[in-house]
Amino acid sequence: VMVFFLLNAYASLISNMDMEDRVSHLEQRLQLQEDEIQLLKAALADALRRLGYCEENAAVVNERNLSADLSGSNWKKL
């Protein structure tokens, strides 16, 4: 009976150590995923900022072209 108790206690200890290793591994994975999410958010914010800048530049160019067309000879010929 004592041998069974000792084997059971040892198996429980090994199981607890295994569980702690698993929990530690999952915590590490969670931290890595949280870090990756922060990087993705920063990259998305940068891409949206650049897209907004491109759209603003395109609007300015279109406005300049329209002004040039209205004041240029092409408009007067119509």
Stretch 32-40: mean pLDDT, rounded? 97
What was the pLDDT predicted at 18?
A: 84
pLDDT of amino acid 60:
86
Query: Higher pLDDT residue, 72 or 37?
Result: 37
Query: Confidence band (pLDDT; 50, 70, 90) for 74?
Result: low
* C-alpha to C-alpha distances, 53 to 43, 48, 56, 65, 66, nearest whole angstrom: 15, 9, 5, 18, 20
